[in-house]
A and B are shown apart, each in its own frame.
Chain A
Amino acid sequence: MQKRLIVNHQLLEIMVLRLCHQLIESHGDFSDSVILGLQPRGKFVAQRIQRTLASILGREVPTGYLDTTFHRDDFRRRETPLTANATKVDFLVEGKKVILVDDVLYTGRSVRAALDAMIAYGRPASVELLVLIDRLYTRHLPIQATYVGLHVNSLQSQRVLVEWKDQQAGEDNIWLITKNED
């Protein structure tokens, strides 16, 4: 297995800061906006975005975590079983501008499931998608992100891993992992 560092912690900090400023351009004071991090890994991105926005705006943007396990279209078609994660949405989505947040956009199926799961909480005014990494030419569905940290061209056999200090990693890093072929 080969690991190649594609974003180091300094670059990741700049990337998150840039994404937050782009969000502020669109959402102003966030009075009608909420953030939903997709479980399991988008939660950490959402937390980081929330903290960075709080340091700039001086107030916390409502942030929840959405699990899409029960809405996935590959249930019973996967090699490995699905394990559900907690959903925590303490606010109304009805009429809000929702920012869905995930770490990596790959096939688009998780985002489709997230849209389905989110509708169970009400009808939002609009939905945007923010991802740290957009893997190019890998989409199975016509879904694209509104805010992207970095576009990455990768092979299907490769995997993008986003590590956070919050998850006991040494520092924030994004890796491109290539499995050795036998």
Chain B
Amino acid sequence: MQELSVRHLLGIKDITPQDIQLIFETADNFKEVLNRPIKKVPSLRDITVANVFFENSTRTRLSFELAEKRLSADVINFSSSSSSVKKGETLLDTVNNILAMKVDMIVMRHSSPGAPHFLADHIQANIVNAGDGTHEHPTQALLDAFSIRERLGEVAGKKVVIIGDILHSRVALSNIFALQKLGAEVMVCGPTTLLPKHIKQLGVQVETDVRKALAWCDVANVLRIQLERMQMKYFPSLREYTLYYGIDKKMLDSLDKQITLMHPGPINRGVELSSDAADSHHSIILNQVENGVAIRMAVLFLLAQKQ
């Protein structure tokens, strides 16, 4: 009998390769559940989950909400745009109020790195980090690695390049930790202005030429240009970024091998990916979305056992 080594999922950095394997094996079973005529199981029927989103999200919140409902949990949703946070309430007060309503688990997105770690030190409920600023987005990294495993059989030994805005990406950091823990080689690729200064210390290769990166890799995980996080100009124009770092089908077809193309979404079509690349046979973007529900079901199921 296996169980997770942690009682919160705050980041991939905190969990072991065995935890990741357990989550994958449990998600395999939940994928089977999601393909049944009745896609719902009663595992969490006595659990209440609060989705606390201090930052806008569509797909992550929907994916978590669906995962919670497929597990028969009671779900409440909170978004800061329509709450008392606007009136000056602190994070701890907000969450304590939610907990006073007897909530067992909290799925939280926050713009400040470390916000879920702070909460984990102060409250009893299980916490799942659904993205904290530019720090970590663990369930996205898990579903990405799970999708690579599904497509290529295993993650160990595979060469994965993460392309684009590494500096502002929580997906990149969690992906680096997850892929390395599972034995993959990781490269990051982007303009030097969008690569963190000490990124090499994480044991990743660094490349600024996207063509060389594509020639090296088995998998290319292309990130969205996060214009909303850019307080200054990191490149002259979107048009220039697309010219140097945009990936299209012609570029993929020119490679003498089949690579797997990923994107955590939402895609800026015509910027980091052209439509014909995003919709090509190389792409597993929609598989990532499907796997996201199974991975989040697995995480919630395994954490609920740790209460």
A residues at B contact (CB < 8 Å): 67, 69-71, 75-76, 80-87, 116-117, 119-122
Contact = CB atoms under 8 A, between A and B. Distances in A.
Given A81-B2, A84-B26, A87-B32, 13 more contacts: A70-B33, A70-B71, A75-B43, A76-B304, A76-B305, A81-B3, A82-B1, A82-B305, A83-B1, A119-B38, A120-B33, A120-B39, A121-B38
Nearest to A39: B29
Given A86-B29, A86-B32, A70 B301 contact: yes
A84 B1 contact: no
Contact of A120 (B30, B36, B71, B301): B36
Nearest to A122: B37
Given A70-B301, A76-B304, A83-B1, A121 B37 contact: yes
Nearest to B307: A76
Interface string B35-53: 0111111110010000000
Nearest to A79: B1
A82 B297 CA distance: 15
23 contacts: A67-B29, A69-B29, A70-B30, A71-B42, A71-B43, A75-B304, A75-B305, A81-B1, A81-B305, A84-B25, A84-B29, A85-B29, A86-B28, A86-B29, A86-B32, A87-B29, A87-B33, A120-B33, A120-B36, A120-B37, A120-B38, A120-B39, A121-B36
Nearest to B36: A120
The prevalent SS among residues of B at the interface is: loop
Contacts, number: 54
Contacts of B38: 119-121
B29 to A, nearest CB: 4
Nearest to B306: A81
A110 B71 CA distance: 19
Contacts of A76: 46, 304-305, 307
A105 to B, nearest CB: 22
Nearest to A94: B37
Contacts of B32: 86-87
A70 B43 contact: yes
A121 B32 CA distance: 11
Contacts of A70: 29-30, 33, 41-43, 71, 301
Nearest to A116: B42
Nearest to B26: A84
Contacts of B46: 76
Contacts of B301: 70
Interface in B250-283: none
A80 B2 CA distance: 9
Contacts of B28: 86
Contacts of B33: 70, 87, 120
